[in-house]
Amino acid sequence: MAAIRPGVAQELGTYPPRSMIGPDASSGKPNPDKLRIEGFFFLDRSGTPVLMPGVSYEEFDRLKNLEAGIDSRSDVFDFQSLEIIGTASEGRAELKVVIRLTIDSTGGRTVAIPLGMQNFHPLGPPDVTGLDDFHMAGSGSDSGHRLLVNTKQRHEAVVTMNVAARVEPGPPSSLEFRLPDVPSQVRIATDENAVTGEIVGRGDEVIQSTGDADKPSAFLIESGGGTFTLRWGKLDRDGDNSPQLEIDNSSIVLQWDSPQDQPMVSCQMIVRNARGVVDKVKLRLPKNSSLFGTPTLGTSEQEVEMIGPTPSPEGDTIEVRIPEIPERQQRVDLRLTLQMNIDQPSAVTPMVFRVPEVIGALRQRGEIQVMTGDDYRLRWRSRPWVQSTLAQPDDESGRSYFFRYDRASFDLPMWLATTRRQLRVATEAEISLHDTIARIDYRILPSGRATDGTVLKVDFGDWRLRSIENSDSAQRIEAVQNGSYYEIYLESLAGGDPAPIRMIGEHDLGHSDNRSVSFELPRITEIEDTMLVQSANVSIANRGRSLLVVDLEASQNVDRSILSETSTIGESSRTRYRVIPPDASGKLVGRIVEQSPSITIAGNAAIEVDQENLRATLDWTVTSSLDLEGRLPIQIPSLSPLPKNSDVSLAAQPFRQPSRTLDLAEVDSINEQSTRVGAGEQGQAGDLEGLAEAMSPAAPDVETEFPAQWTVSVNSLQAVLEPVEGDRYVLISDQLASGSMSVQWNLIRPLRRDVPPSEKRQADSSNGEVTSGDLVDEDLASGTTSIDQLETITIPRPVAVDTTFRGTMRVSLQGDLDTELFSTDASAENMMVFDALPREPIRLRVRSREAQDQNLFVSKAVLRSAVGYATRMEQLLAEVQGGRELRIGLPVGDFAISAEAFVDARPAVVRRDRTTLVISLPDETGTHSVDLRVWLPMVLSPMAGRVEPALTLPLGVGSVYWEIASPESSHVIWASPALGRSMAWRYDRWRLYREPTRAPQWLADWVGENQWVEIPEGNRYLYLGSDVRSFQAVLVSRSVLWAATASIVLFLAVLLTFFPQSRHPLTVVVAAVLFVGMLLVAPDAAVLAGQIGMIALALVAIMLAIRSLIQTGDQHSALSSRPRGRRSDFSNRPSQEGPASASKSLSATRSIAGSSRVNKVSP
């Protein structure tokens, strides 16, 4: 500190000035006058300062990645190919190695690229092209040759090396290659003639040989790199009779329980001869091994003939001869058992293990499994040709270690290490809440082997023990209570390893006001050194409506569990906790709260008419996450009795046949007004009575409807519907629990038919209205009874619970052969759709079906079609006789319409049934005036289009007036011949047009006292007919008429002007005939075309007059009808003439112009 200047001194607790530690601002280089940072001090967990050298952030990040097992530099190079060319002779090989690789930017660092080839020694400096900054390292390390590169951009490099390698003398000779994993090609030329080569490696190498008895042999090897060995020489198997044996799937099992035991080796080798059948196999046994018994073949354990063993320094050899049997094959399964003779191997003197080797085999591969006891662990040293895989615990006891070998001539040193015998225990406790008690299911899960006399001491806390049993076999286990502990002797259990133990206990919940509870958790106490409690988990299963809310702050040694478990619908919710540390005493403190049931309902309903009864069926699928405990509150609104002249909703009483039919808006208005009157608005009582009288002219008798009697079943088992108060009920069934349940409601009640068939309708002599009777009528002709009434059905719904309705509720309506059933609230095809369970009663219309031979006749009708380009308005004024309903057809299609109807000047309900509009009539005997107005989306082209009535009348129709109201710019040019025209011609100055002969008010009075709907002014056309289905007309816009007529006139004008041959009397006759035919077929079109044609002809006449005025006697204008000729280029006349000749020629031309009709003009 004395060397530092006083001005540089740093105060305690502050950072050094940046000017003292940073680089020079101008040059960016370190300043020697500033402080040099050699490193930083960090404190480890024990508080000891640790020096970390000063490095850049990039270097620190690289070191951190290396610590995590990630080498960021491993992807900066990529090998492309490797090629080796050389010769091998007299124990030495000289080779030329060419390696091609791609190197990316190293980011300013030096990257070492391993090239392998540890056994190749360079003969000179390597030749590297494509790199600037590099150098080579020797082959002293395990990675072999290394290329150290530092580059800032991508390069394609080529490394060329001349190396020498040692050839192992034979026979056979061998040369080992230790190459990087790169596609490789090796070309080796030998000094021996007619030798055979083979590759010992991974098995995917390809070798090709060339040469004969007079030429040295050469080999071409293609491989994917790695380590492999080339062997060549005079091999016996190259002869015609020498076998080529291959062993690919050997299975060697070594059982070694303890170091004192002699290992037993079970060998299974699949030997295959590539040149024929296997007749004999020569084996070399491992050193210090003894053969048990005689080798056998396959699973049949057929013994074979054995010669030997013959002593040898590398191991005894035996020869196995395969019996000469007919089924002797090219592949045999040879099995033998060996015993290894060892003397307690250790790390200093390990057991050197080898597998039995088939002498002369091309390759020999297999798998080794070493099985040890649970008290020992296998240790070994790595050697070539054999690789180990992951050790796995055995299902019964001990451990298994697996190895793979690629050749049999390997030595694997191994020994057994002693491990500490320990009993590991895990505990799981599940607490479930019930009405007055809590129940605990405590499970002890031991693992590992327990010594004799091991005792588990369990502190069960404040729980009452009910039973102790084996969790697997459910057998009771005897336990000794020693004070507050329960002692369980593990040796009393049957079997080897301890089985899981289950302890059941109970605890009173108490009756405190705040429902607070406290549980002492069971635990294992007085743990010995040979015992370890690994984990202690606690789960709370909240069954029913009780929920235990745990107070973690008040609890002791209890924390949330890392593992979470989600419960599905119908299962009890579980909350998991853990005791930390696992062997500590835990205490769970919380409070019990009651949960409100939450259910989800999905379902549909069906209402049908069954003879004289109305049947309703509701199918629910109820899903609850909590236990409903066998009870579900239900609300079924009941319809109160309806006395005469009472101020209640008319929807609750039987529907009387009204003199006019009310639509949905009016019925809702009646209900709305009745609700307001009941709430105290007495001033509107008179309006309500008026509406009631509008629905029913006769005062109804006292009608009473009692609460609906529903029957219900849960999961196809009958349930009890117990009334509570008013419209509240309780559904009781032991099937009401948690999960998904099926609930079915059924209702059967008779249809109300209060008036006997003998009573007839009586007419009031003053006004002709009905004075008594009901909606039940008697058909005088057939003697049958017809009904038309309003029915209401209340739908049950859950109350006092959180209810969610899933999807939509569809209510299907189905009548029978004599009765039809439909809704009065909407126009649907026998189907009602609700987003949830309806709170209000469902109102239905029950009516007798009309007979197919009903006597319905439309004596008079006026059909109005107000045509627009996008929308059509149709009005039907009709006088109907007989029948109880009028059906009007609509165009085919799925589109929305707007309709209103009046019957006898009173509003009526219009019901749409697919492509039909149905209007109910008051009775079948009288004559009724019907006024129907319909708005439809019908598109008409502004240019031209065909118009037909959108409404189709029944077949029985008298006279029908059809009025077409079109826009001002559109005209009818043609109408169906089946239509009579009720129009007269009128003249307005120069314009001739048609006008209806019947006034609108006359038409309205003709079919009864109906209201005439005013529509915007335009063109009106009135036709008369009886077959509505044949009514047709064609509308054409004024622009199209003008374009067509003017085009024809212009064509005729041009024809008559420029083609004199057309100026013939026959042309006039043809034109007159065509015009007369047009007058007969389409008089409207002829008149319109004539008017427009007169205008066009007038324009042509004006054009001709102007032409005659501007044309002189000596000159011809452009409007002249005489063609002008041109002088021919092939004329024999001189090209130049004098003035006199030119004047004479012009005179001659003018003199013959009238006869030759050639107008020649001199130049």
Task: Give backbone dihedrals phi and psi of 258, rounded to 5 degrees, phi first.
Answer: -150, 160
Query: Which pLDDT does position 1 carry in this prediction?
Result: 37
* CATH of region 239-417: 2.60.40.1730
Region 441-464 average pLDDT: 82
**DSSP for 498-542?**
PPPEEEEEEEE----TT-EEEEEPPEEES--TTEEEEEEEEEEEE
Nearest to 597 by CA among 634, 632, 566: 632
Q: At the top level of CATH, which class does the domain 77-233 belong to?
A: mainly beta
Element (H, E) at 50: strand 49-53
C-alpha distances in angstroms, 275 versus 225, 239, 813? 29, 11, 85
Residue with tokens 């008017």: 1091
Task: Name the least confident of 454-468, 959-973, 1129-1143.
Answer: 1129-1143
55 by DSSP, 3-state: which?
Answer: coil
List pLDDT tens digits, range 663-687. 433 434 434 443 333 333 333 333 3
Residue with tokens 């080579």: 136
Element (H, E) at 1107: helix 1083-1110
Amino acid occupying residue 44: D
Region 81-99 average pLDDT: 92
Q: How many residues would you count in the chain?
A: 1163
The whole-angstrom separation of Cα 116 and Cα 121 is 11
Region 22-40 average pLDDT: 59
Q: How confident is the model at residue 604 (pLDDT cuts 50, 70, 90)?
A: very high
Region 257-268 average pLDDT: 89
Query: Which pLDDT does position 61 carry in this prediction?
Result: 64
Region 324-331 average pLDDT: 66
With left for phi above 0 and alpha for psi between -120 and 50, is residue 463 left, alpha or beta?
beta
**DSSP for 740-770?**
EEEEEEEEEEEPP--S-TT----B-TTT--B
Tell the burial category of 895 from Cβ atoms under 10 Å away from its Cβ (0-12, 13-18, 19+).
exposed
Q: At what angle do helices 1065-1081 and 1083-1110 cross, to 10 degrees?
A: 150
Q: How confident is the model at residue 514 (pLDDT cuts 50, 70, 90)?
A: low
Q: At the top level of CATH, which class does the domain 423-594 belong to?
A: mainly beta
List pLDDT tens digits, range 3-21. 444 444 556 556 666 666 6
Query: Which pLDDT does position 1141 carry in this prediction?
Result: 39
The whole-angstrom separation of Cα 941 and Cα 937 is 13
CB atoms within 10 A of CB 735: 15
**Percent of the chain at pLDDT exceeding 90:** 11
Tell the burial category of 1017 from Cβ atoms under 10 Å away from its Cβ (0-12, 13-18, 19+).
exposed
The whole-angstrom separation of Cα 693 and Cα 774 is 14
HSE (side-chain half, CA atoms, 13 Å) at 212: 1
Q: What is the mean pLDDT of the chain?
A: 75
CB 509 within 8 A of CB 436: yes
CB 611 within 8 A of CB 735: no
Q: How far is CA 241 from the centre of its chain?
A: 66
Region 102-117 average pLDDT: 86
List pLDDT tens digits, range 675-722. 333 333 333 333 333 333 433 333 333 333 344 578 999 999 999 999
Region 123-137 average pLDDT: 87
| 239-417 matches 857-1036 in fold | yes
Task: Give backbone dihedrals phi and psi of 667, rounded to 5 degrees, phi first.
Answer: -65, -45
Quote the pTM value. Answer: 0.42
Q: How confident is the model at residue 398 (pLDDT cuts 50, 70, 90)?
A: low
CB 1056 within 8 A of CB 1121: no
Query: Structure tokens of 507?
Result: 């605890």
List pLDDT tens digits, range 408-437. 888 889 988 876 566 788 999 999 888 788
The whole-angstrom separation of Cα 572 and Cα 591 is 18
Q: In what order do the strands lie in the sheet with 944-947?
A: 944-947, 1033-1037, 970-975
List pLDDT tens digits, range 350-362. 999 989 988 888 8
Beta-strand ranges (E) seen in 423-509 are 423-433, 437-447, 455-459, 464-470, 480-482, 485-489, 501-508
Query: Which pLDDT does position 66 carry in this prediction?
Result: 55
Domain ranges across the chain: 77-233, 239-417, 423-594, 598-741+749-848, 857-1036, 1041-1110
Query: Structure tokens of 561?
Result: 């569990």
Q: Is the pLDDT of residue 215 over 60?
A: yes
Q: At a CB cut-off of 8 Å and minimum separation 6, what does 213 contact?
A: 193, 194
CB 691 within 8 A of CB 670: yes
Region 238-242 average pLDDT: 53
Q: At a CB cut-off of 8 Å and minimum separation 6, what does 1001 contact?
A: 1012
* CATH of region 857-1036: 2.60.40.1730
